Structure 1
Amino acid sequence: MSKFQKLLWGCTIAAAQTEGAYNIEGKGPSIWDEFTRKSYKIKDRSNAKIATDFYHRYKEDIDLAASLGLKIFRFSISWPRIIPHGTGDVNTKGVDFYNNVIDYCLKVGIQPWITTYHWDLPQKLQDKGGWTNREIVNWYTDYVEILKEHFADRVKYWILINEGVVCMGGGYFLGVHAPGKRGIRNFIAATHHLLLAQAEGFRVLKQKKDLQVGTAISCTKIEPYRDTINDRKAAIRIDALMNRLFIEPHLGMGYPHEDLPIISRISKYYQEGDLERLKVDFDFWGIQTYTREVVKGTWYIPYLGAMLVRPKKRNVKTSIMGWETYPQGIPYFLERFAKYDTKKPLWLTECGMALAKDEDDQNRIEYYQKVIIGMKSVLDKGVNLKGILLWTLVDNFEWAEGYIPKFGIVELDKKTLKRTMKKSALWLKEYLLNIEL
């Protein structure tokens, strides 16, 4: 069997985007419940009160994944479903739900993976400052301890934080995601506390020696618009922000303040021993990449001195998200992260393509065919790639974009919640079957 045939295939979903059941059986409010209450913040004025109703239809979705030949089902835990107020009493019905999800995965022969945090912070903790409050390191550690107690006997693979730069950038700097906070001070404080929390969460889970614990890193290929010193330096700064800030402190390299001077302000939030506490040797890294950005230097953008050159100006076709679809970023980042540590297991824990409602799903098939070419190329170069998890199974609530982008390989009828396999799902099923033959 070749290295490529040994790759494991799976899918990734997130609680806030799929579960629905937002206020039943003891679940407390999350920051996304509050954020979507003001409908003007969501492009199609929608919310995730029902979403895909995974809470009631989890068996149907797990069966779908298994029927396609997927071997891994990665889902996230909703913190406020487990601990409604963020701290204190545990909601036993929430624990029961995730036990049922895990047990059903195992029953049908698919491996459950847990993401401990995929952006749905309990609103009660946000009322206390959320990630800008250093106490969240303890709140998160206690929460992970509870997850370990209830689920670690059956779940081997754990991802701590999903795409820290996206949830901190969108939620605490630009204000376009929950909790809608803005400003460099919020972003810097929240970033430091999130990375500390992730490091401590790792230590909690590793108390159980047989667990494999990693993180999922958002990666965006950054290129200068022109071959000028100004644009090249701008690209270096944005690359440090997007691709280095949320991994290098864990590697013992510190924050990349030399290439991103504004991040030097993070020292204001240091306590004795913090840089040492940030160092953790994750069991694996999850790489997640969708697009490429091209930047140019400019003096009037505060803190970063850079601005994006929109794809339209570059005569580049975009998806319904307004992104340049860029499967070439997958081999680029797999090779780049392999340079940090050639032996570190790498997983492609998210990748996918957003299509419009009536767009030909053949485009998604062609995207994944290019992804496959990229994975084969890095395996030939000796990169320690273990598998790929698709984003996503069923069309879902795509944060501030609402239900407009369709990332799923399974179509969702919003009125009836009926699931229908798309051409890409049928293609994938046949492809995976042929790999095994």
Structure 2
Amino acid sequence: MTDSSSIRFPDGFLWGAATSAYQVEGSPLADGAGPSNWHHFSHQPDAIADGGTGDVACDHYRRYEEDVALMRQLGLQAYRFSVSWSRILPEGRGRINPAGLDFYRRLLDRLLEAGIQPCATLFHWDLPQALQEQGGWANRDSANWFADYAHILFRELGDKVPLWATLNEPWVVVNDGYMHGVHAPGHRSLDEAPWVAHNLLRAHALGVQAFRADGQGQIGLVVNLEPKYAASVGPDDAAAMSRAHAYMNRWFLDGVMLGSYPDELAEMFGQHWPRFDLADMALLLEPFDFLGINYYTRSVNRDAPQNPPPHAESVRQEGAEYTEMGWEVFPEGLTRTLQWVKQRYGDPPIYITENGAAFADPPAHNGRVADPRRVEYLRGHLRAAHEAIRLGVNLKGYFAWSLLDNFEWSLGYAKTFGLVQVDFSSQRRTIKDSGYFYRDVIARNGL
């Protein structure tokens, strides 16, 4: 990786920040919205580490104008957000809630007035609870439910959104929601997990078809990727690394890019692995316009046959720096990941759709929040992204995670990723040093 003191990104490189609906909006049942599975899940005893919910979160539903002003102050060129499916369709299907559409229209209008490009994600984990009660993503019909919802958004909001994503991190939905039960809907099922993954990818493909019929601009898929390393040179740990790589990185991308799933998955799941219809596998190859990659860390794997798939476990590295999430700070892994995607999948246009770090931030003091470790995290990963461009990766933009401190899913409010600190007792926003650092990066188009 280059150590030059000054780097510049290509002209037209897109700089943004990202959030998701349930993490920031609050008011989940306001103005006719229906409950999501995350609203239901977060209200279950002991589901969330600190007992938090998304009932208020960052109150973005009511403070979106203030937040757009913050985006403008940061110089953001783009804002990646997700739409709450149950705001639009309270029962998940059928009846449209006009007030839900109106909220997103108002948000989009403010963004466009501020010269900020909207980048909308159709599904960022919050499925309408009414659909969850019909089996959720384990129900084959879920792909069609998603396509109907997508048609509505493309018709109603498509003239205001140039960049769409179908799904955010389907692997997390499967692994955390259906394998380990720590995310909504809280299931632990080796039988459900493969079907959930398959139906999510079918939903993505049908969503892209809906976009070709009704949408404008470009559409893509967002996946989380994490390079895998072996904890030792022994064959058992090398095999564990290979399984972990197939399970996390190749499962979804092989599906949509190659029309097949890694052979290792059938071996790992054994009798729980289904036989998939050939027509389904052909559907998964529906062409889309870009790939979004969320990158945070790497994992170092050792063999753990007693664990569920991928029968591996991650090992902490002595002397390495870790974030509050327990994730190793490893920027060179971003370069490696981007190169791997280019080499395996034919050089698609790529956006880094999430990248950031949770650190323990001090309270705001005299209007300042000093977060030097996050500044260095961003600096290192931006250099890694630039190195990937130098090596020929077709990288089009970068979105920092996250614009705001927010509801961090099963971990509640204890982990803060934001460029902007949120005092959740007062909803006061304070731009952190990392936010000002990122503002300067955008202004320079580099470091």
Offset at residue 223 of structure 1 (A): 0.9
Q: Confirm or deny that 1:175 pairs with 2:185.
A: no
Cα 1:277/1:379, change in 2 over 3 Å: same
After TM superposition, the structure 1 = structure 2 runs for residues 230-245 of structure 1, keeping only pairs within 5 Å, are 230-245=236-251
Name 1:53's counterpart in structure 2: 59
Name 1:75's counterpart in structure 2: 81
- Tell me if structure 2 keeps the 8 A contact 1:162–1:217: yes
Give the TM-score taking structure 1 as reference length: 0.95
After TM superposition, the structure 1 = structure 2 runs for residues 328-407 of structure 1, keeping only pairs within 5 Å, are 328-358=332-362, 361-407=371-417
Offset at residue 188 of structure 1 (A): 1.0
Distance 1:378 1:299 in 2: 35
- Which of residues 201, 205, 210 in structure 2 aligns to 1:199? 205
Distance 2:322 2:154 in 1: 41
Q: Confirm or deny that 1:62 pairs with 2:62.
A: no
Q: Confirm or deny that 1:257 pairs with 2:268.
A: no
Name 1:317's counterpart in structure 2: 321
Name 2:227's counterpart in structure 1: 221
Distance 1:433 1:3 in 2: 11
Distance 2:8 2:297 in 1: 29
Q: Confirm or deny that 1:420 pairs with 2:430.
A: yes
Quick one: which amino acid aligns to residue 293 of structure 2?
I
Structure 1 vs Structure 2: percent identity of aligned residues?
36
Offset at residue 40 of structure 1 (A): 1.4
Offset at residue 41 of structure 1 (A): 1.5
- Which of residues 290, 298, 310 in structure 1 aligns to 2:296? 290
- Which of residues 129, 132, 140 in structure 2 aligns to 1:126? 132
Cα 1:247/1:266, change in 2 over 3 Å: farther
Name 1:105's counterpart in structure 2: 111
Quick one: which amino acid aligns to residue 433 of structure 1?
A
Distance 1:264 1:6 in 2: 47
Offset at residue 328 of structure 1 (A): 2.0
Distance 2:324 2:271 in 1: 36
Q: Confirm or deny that 1:268 pairs with 2:268.
A: no
- Which of residues 162, 165, 173 in structure 1 aligns to 2:168? 162
Gap runs ≥5 in structure 2: 1-6, 364-369
Q: Confirm or deny that 1:91 pairs with 2:97.
A: yes
Distance 1:75 1:107 in 2: 17
Q: Deviations over 1:181-215 (max 9, x none)?
A: 11211211111111111111111102247421101
- Tell me if structure 2 keeps the 8 A contact 1:188–1:265: no
Distance 1:62 1:266 in 2: 47
Quick one: which amino acid aligns to residue 156 of structure 1?
P
Distance 1:367 1:135 in 2: 42
Segment of structure 1 superposing worse, 296-305 or 117-126: 296-305
- Tell me if structure 2 keeps the 8 A contact 1:241–1:260: no
- How many residues align structurally? 435
- Tell me if structure 2 keeps the 8 A contact 1:192–1:269: no
Offset at residue 341 of structure 1 (A): 4.3
Offset at residue 283 of structure 1 (A): 0.5
Distance 1:307 1:10 in 2: 33
Offset at residue 44 of structure 1 (A): 1.2
Task: Tell me how large the CA RMSD over aligned residues is.
Answer: 2.0
